Amino acid sequence: MLLIPAIDLKDGHCVRLRQGRMDDETIFSDQPVDMAGRWVNEGARRLHLVDLNGAFAGEPVNGAAIRDIAAAYPTLPLQVGGGIRDERTIAAYLDAGVSYCIIGTQAVTEPEFVTRACRSFPGQIMVGLDAKNGLVAIKGWAEITAHRVVDLAQRFENDGVAAIIYTDIGRDGMMTGPNVEATRALAAAVRIPIIASGGITTIDDVRALAEVADSGIIAAITGRAIYEGTLDFAEGQRLADQLNP
């Protein structure tokens, strides 16, 4: 199971939000490339980049920072989300060296877009499903829909997405631990890989997810914990590797 550092970009800075609120941020760095280098030096084998402004604007806003990271680490797989609403944006990111594009809100409001994107860019499209109490949230978590996470995951499975990134928005940025049971249940309900996100705080949280990784959880994204020091990233990746050789 991979442990993937998150770099959330807002106004050119590396930040973390609490429960997706743009007005509740903590700035950790104003040098995104240097922050990427920190995690690479600690053994990261993939990075999760989010254009927070883009998620609200509906188009890339921090694309320059993402391209700079891709240029600085051309062999490092990058998965990017936030403001990806058309195939032109996907093509531009992939041309810049990004490995995977994550479709979030657009996947829920226009699921046919995922079908088209998977056909045009096979193996390079992920879907981000953010949920609260099992229901999917969109538009930067500002709106809770009536869609059940498992129903949408099964629909996108048929499109051939590379992975589902599942975030429990009640846990994200709150340092309360991941929703292990809900993540395991989702992984068991589909054949495609699940990437867990939200709430990972300590080494015990990594252990808890790694112990159920054989249900189909290939990775876990961590953010605030590794920035605030409640989780040592390198230690967490070593543990995940030991539990899933």
CA-to-CA dists, residue 78 to 69, 96, 158, 208, 213, angstroms: 9, 11, 24, 25, 21
Cα end-to-end distance, the chain, whole Å: 9
Q: What Rg do the C-alpha atoms of the chain give, in angstroms?
A: 16
CB 195 within 8 A of CB 221: yes
Structure tokens at 162: 């590379």
Structure tokens at 65: 């920072």
CB 145 within 8 A of CB 136: yes
* Catalytic-residue membership of 130: yes
List the one residue out of 166, 162, 226, 223 whose CA is nearest residue 9.
223
Structure tokens at 220: 């876990």
The angle formed by the CA atoms of residues 48, 51 and 57, to the nearest 5 degrees, is 150
- List 51, 130, 168, 205, catalytic entry: 130
Helix, coil or strand: residue 2: strand
DSSP calls for 38-60: HHHHTT-S-EEEEEHHHHHHTS-
Active-site amino acid positions? 8, 130
